[in-house]
Chains A and B, each alone.
Chain A
Amino acid sequence: MSSTSAGPSRPSNTRLSSPGLVGPGRAAARRGSALRGDNRLALALPAAAILVALAFWPLLQLGSMSVHEVTAATLNSDWLFVGLDNYAALLASPDFPRAVVNTLVFVVIVTVIGMAGGFAVAVAVSSPTRGASYLLGMMVFVWALPPVVNGSIWKFLLGDRGLLNEVLRALGGSPAGVGFLYDPQLALWSVALVNAWAVIPFNALIFRASLLAVDSEVLEAAEMDGAGPWRRIRHVLIPHARPTATVLAILTVVYAFRSFDFIYVMTSGGPGTASTTLPYLAYVEAFLRLDYGGGAATALIALAVVIVLALFYARDVRRSEEA
């Protein structure tokens, strides 16, 4: 095509036969590019292998377990295929609806309080004062505390003779105290509130990073225009933090949805099953009742919700990168 349109003044074979300046050069460049592409793929192989070994393979095993009868007695032998029986048994179990409702309540409490608290604290520590630095340091400390330690401390504080009940009694509350961890109506709320408290530092740090990018001149201009603190937050900071909040909300929901450690330490899912969520129910079935098939089915249902949320997260991240 190019040779016919090149015109008579330019020999038709000039371009095609030029000594490696264009044609062979391009080919070499393509080969090099392909080679570099291959190299890049090769560099990703170790990570891919680890991902397959530690994530995909266990997930496949989990899926396989959920459609087989797997107990401690049969774990090492051939598994009997039972189709969707484990799922059917789970749906028929009286514990399942309660665990689903508990999980939803838990997620809502942790997400709403975690997000609102995180933003409020971020606003409080975004100013360069000594108090803000101190608060920031304390938050990092709380964030770094292992959940088992955190949960144990709160279990002690919320006990019948714990600090909170003693304060309530001193303020004229009921001598019997409040059953934060043993009242079936309160136990889930108590654990969820502690979990929300534990996630606030992380959310605050992320929000703070977002708020630090707000141009101080914009805030000064708003102040000069007569905007008080609340209006500056509402009309400047919140709109600015909205993209961060979207991603953070998804992360917080995922965090809340898979929460296990605080429940394990503080209530063991009780009293009875009053604070049992789906992840905790999966643990009970698999590791206490040794019904690994039932536990796998429960875990997969919980995982499906997390995967859907993760997809939303990935989509938002991609959109923000494209923008």
Chain B
Amino acid sequence: MTQNRRRTGTALIAIGAAGILALTGCTPSETGSDTTTLTVWHYYNTDGQVEALEKLADSFTAEHPDVTVQYEYVPVDQFTTKAVTAAGSETGPDVLVFGASGTYPLAEAGAIEPMDDWWGGYADKDQFPEGVMQRIDGELYGVQGYVNLLGLWYNQDMLDEIGGEVPTTIAELEAVMQKAADAGHQGITLTGKPGLESQWQGFPWFTSHGFSYGDPQAAPMAGTYTMLQDWVGKGYLSREASTWDQTVPFQQFAAGASAFAVNGNWQIGAAKEAAFGYGVAPLPITSDGGVLLGGEVQNVGAFSKNKELAQEFLESTFFSVDGQLTLLDYFGSIPARADAASDSKIGDDPILSVFVDIVQKQGRPSPSPEVPSKNVNEVEGLVGDFWSKAVAGDGTPAQLADDLMAQLVPLLKG
């Protein structure tokens, strides 16, 4: 019995060893060379985004058959922590595709490095506007290959039904929403979930009321909250919006439930499912108001073992004309490059051309330059929480604005 076991064990070891030898011996001889794996961390999770990434990888590996692009999805709320922790053990991906609010912590933790030298030698750098550069103390820590931003989606069929026009002011918007409510429809859908998303959603409206991070005052914020609670009270906006992320309200709009939706260019694919005529207009805010230019930031990981290859990957995908048009095709992101943005795909598209117009007329850098870099997450989270409270009616506008200022002002002082 013991002998049998020994023989079996010896045989297994021999088979294992033969297998290992076969694998190690055969692979290089069959391919002729070793392959290099390029790791990319991202938090894309919609179908269009994932398909776009695969398309970018295919185009890169077509030119580099010895390279394998390995994407790793990291949930957005874990991304910064994971990258920072990895940097602590001097590891991490070759490429990071991250949210702009993560730039400061990633840079301070050493997960990304200044890319000025590389960018200075990049032939196409002049195609990129300054607004997509993520700088800390003058050093460049990331570039957005595209921008995402908010616009006012409208249901043309519903407007025709109720006799409404596309609004250019908040008063006009409210007049149309009143007609929609009278006809039994919702006026508008937007995001009110606590946290960063709601800060982004609220920014156009509270800046339109005169609020500025550079000179934070309670009155304009109270005015914004009054407007929101008025919308809820009159039935234009559901209080349920206080729990909605950016996906749910657009699903409501696309299902024909509301006249308007405050949502982004990335919903172009979802909008095509709508069984009604629709369009996009700039948000009907005042000239004081602005729309934050979001979109993911790209940079090479500080601990990449293939830095030059990673740079080449970004230059030929996220930063290239073809790459940016691929992203546009799959999830409607607006190219950051001037030459890509002037492509006929955009100019001829009634939706995309409006978003490009919004970039020019209402676009503001994100995060707001007046917010101290080290407090970006806290400030945006706090302002988003109070937006959520206002939608839910969790306090009077004046009380909410005062409470917000008490916590916000110290953070803005840095």
Contacts and interface: CB of A to CB of B under 8 A. Distances in A.
B381 A73 contact: no
A259 to B, nearest CB: 18
Contacts of B113: none
The DSSP consensus for interface residues of chain A is: loop
A181 B242 CA distance: 9
Interface in B161-220: 192-196
Contact of B194 (A72, A273, A290): A273
B193 A270 contact: yes
Interface in A270-285: 270-274, 284
Interface string A244-273: 000000000000000000000001111111
Interface string B371-412: 000100110010001101101111000000001001100000
A179 interface: yes
B240 A179 contact: yes
Nearest to A155: B243
Contact of B394 (A181, A269, A272): A272
Contact of A287 (B77, B109, B407): B77
A75 to B, nearest CB: 5
A94 interface: yes
Contacts of A288: 77, 195-196, 377, 381
B374 A270 contact: no
A71 interface: yes
B389 A290 contact: no
Nearest to B390: A272
A289 B384 CA distance: 12
Contacts of A73: 104-105, 108-109, 374
A272 B403 contact: no
A184 to B, nearest CB: 4
Contact of A270 (B84, B109, B194, B393): B194
Given A72-B84, A76-B88, A160-B238, A181 B386 contact: no
A267 B381 contact: no
Nearest to A160: B240
A289 to B, nearest CB: 5
A129 to B, nearest CB: 42
Nearest to A286: B81
Contacts of A273: 194, 385, 389
Given A268-B195, A274-B394, A182 B386 contact: no
B156 interface: no
Contacts of A284: 381
Contact of A76 (B78, B110, B238, B394): B110
A72 B105 contact: yes
A29 B105 CA distance: 64
A188 to B, nearest CB: 12
B100 interface: no
Nearest to B393: A184
A76 B84 contact: yes
Interface in B115-161: none
B31 to A, nearest CB: 38
Contacts of A270: 193-194, 242-243, 385, 388-389, 392
B412 to A, nearest CB: 15
B222 interface: no
B84 A184 contact: no
Contacts of B374: 71, 73
B356 interface: no
A289 B380 CA distance: 9
A305 B378 CA distance: 27
Interface of A: 71-76, 94, 159-160, 179, 181-184, 267-274, 284, 286-291
19 contacts: A72-B105, A73-B104, A75-B84, A76-B109, A94-B407, A179-B392, A182-B243, A268-B193, A269-B194, A270-B193, A270-B389, A271-B192, A271-B389, A272-B386, A272-B388, A287-B77, A288-B195, A290-B80, A290-B105
Interface of B: 77-78, 80-81, 84-85, 87-88, 104-106, 108-110, 192-196, 238-243, 374, 377-378, 381, 385-386, 388-389, 391-394, 403, 406-407
Given A182-B240, A272-B392, A288-B195, 7 more contacts: A74-B108, A76-B87, A94-B403, A94-B407, A160-B238, A184-B394, A268-B194
